[in-house]
Homo-oligomer: A and B are copies of this chain.
Amino acid sequence: MSAEKLTMATALNRAMRDAMHADPTVVVFGEDVGPLGGVFRVTDGLTAEFGEQRCFDTPLAESGILGMAIGMAMNGMRPVVEMQFDAFAYPAFEQLVSHAAKMRNRTRGRVEVPLVIRVPYAGGIGGVEHHCDSSEAYYAHTPGLHVIAPSDPADAYGLLRKAIESADPVVFLEPKKLYFSRSEADLTAPVPPIGRAVVRRPGTDATLIAYGPAVPVALEAAEAAAQEGRSLQVVDLRSIVPFDDETVCAAVRSTGRAVVVAEAAGFASVSSEVVARVTERCFHSLHAPIRRVTGFDIPYPPPKLEHVHLPSVDRILDAVDELQWEYA
């Protein structure tokens, strides 16, 4: 067991490398993932180390990439494919929804498609249109897919290993803005199974529920609130599907107040689901309705305006302020 300081991009790269060493059926492919190592360098060195047959570039066609991955998964391989940016996964939507998600069901378990779809996702990097979408709702709403969003290097490593080992298709959402943030991680530590949320920060007054790129913002907000004497708990979902009702509800019951924080547009989203299901389960423990701080219901803004759109510490603290403390 040895902790080291590394970036999420490196952690993800290690996860693929280690998985490829551990299992010869793991293959990595997509656009520019070979010699270039991916536009974010997440697949850096894999072709050099494992050869062209294990990590390779494809023609430029996302439906093709996922469709071929499904076929390979049907025939004994474990493909890990990269969609270059969130919005460029949309051409693969039919393959994802009508096949990846349904093949096991269609065949009553006779055909499995163990594959991972890595999607660099969400904003905060000054990217132009189509490079910053938070698309998790589309995937989370689709039965048959696991949907995961790590928020730090350690989870990124552990969850990607689990995703590659999974017998089911996993949409693995990598928050682009966290790719190069560095933190301590012990890659040899045991990882919890997919489907477990974690309390990132204890707190007693209210609970912030976040995932992926929103987690660091929530933690920052909790820190700021602490300065003002308010104790905020922070829960990191990690896995959107399956959802960890147990951890989330226990957290919310312990404080009686909650704010869900997510970058995606709020309407008919994962954050709607969190509000709905937690309210259904914890109604009588709630002192106030659960609030949401999400992206607005607008197309992702151009770089110069993204700060207006993204959940900010201030906006989170405003929402916390509105949790009807007068009823405490």
**Chain A residues with a Cβ under 8 A of chain B:** 63, 87, 90-91, 93-94, 97-98, 101-102, 105-106, 129-130, 137-138, 140-144, 240-241, 243, 264-265, 267-273, 275-277, 279-281, 283, 286, 288-292, 296-299
29 A-B residue pairs with Cβ-Cβ distance under 8 Å, sorted by A, are: A87-B97, A90-B93, A90-B94, A90-B98, A98-B130, A102-B299, A105-B298, A105-B299, A106-B299, A137-B268, A141-B268, A142-B265, A143-B267, A143-B296, A143-B297, A143-B298, A241-B267, A243-B267, A267-B273, A268-B268, A268-B273, A269-B272, A272-B273, A272-B276, A273-B276, A276-B276, A279-B289, A280-B290, A283-B289
Compute how far the CA of A143 lies from the CA of B269 in the bound complex, rounded to whole angstroms: 12
Q: Which of A90, A267, A268, A289 neighbours the largest number of chain B CB atoms within 10 Å of its CB?
A: A268
Q: Which residues of B contact A91 (CB under 8 A)?
A: 63, 93-94
Q: Evaluate contact between A143 and B265: CB separation under 8 angstroms.
A: yes
Q: Evaluate contact between A141 and B97: CB separation under 8 angstroms.
A: no
Number of copies: 2
* Given A268-B269, A270-B268, A280-B290: A299 touches B129 (CB 8 Å cut-off): no
Q: Evaluate contact between B101 and A299: CB separation under 8 angstroms.
A: yes
Q: Which residues of B contact A270 (CB under 8 A)?
A: 268
Q: Evaluate contact between B269 and A141: CB separation under 8 angstroms.
A: yes
Q: Which residues of B contact A281 (CB under 8 A)?
A: 289
Closest 5 CB pairs of A and B: A90-B94, A275-B276, A283-B289, A93-B93, A272-B272
A136 to chain B, nearest CB (A): 8
A98 to chain B, nearest CB (A): 6
Q: Which residues of B contact A130 (CB under 8 A)?
A: 98
Quick one: which of B87, B283, B292, B297 contacts A280, CB cutoff 8 A? B292
Q: Which residues of B contact A296 (CB under 8 A)?
A: 143
A173 to chain B, nearest CB (A): 13
Q: Which residues of B contact A243 (CB under 8 A)?
A: 267
Q: Which residues of B contact A101 (CB under 8 A)?
A: 299
A290 to chain B, nearest CB (A): 7
A105-B298, A143-B265 known; 17 other A-B pairs, CB under 8 Å? A90-B93, A90-B97, A91-B93, A91-B94, A105-B299, A140-B267, A141-B267, A141-B269, A143-B298, A240-B268, A268-B269, A268-B272, A269-B272, A272-B276, A280-B289, A280-B291, A283-B288
Compute how far the CA of A98 lies from the CA of B93 in the bound complex, rounded to whole angstroms: 12
Q: Which residues of B contact A142 (CB under 8 A)?
A: 265
Compute how far the CA of A41 lies from the CA of B187 in the bound complex, rounded to whole angstroms: 60
Compute how far the CA of A272 lies from the CA of B270 in the bound complex, rounded to whole angstroms: 9
Q: Which residues of B contact A140 (CB under 8 A)?
A: 267-268
Q: Evaluate contact between B276 and A292: CB separation under 8 angstroms.
A: yes
A95 to chain B, nearest CB (A): 9
Q: Which residue of B lies closest to A264 (CB)?
A: B141
Q: Evaluate contact between B94 and A98: CB separation under 8 angstroms.
A: no
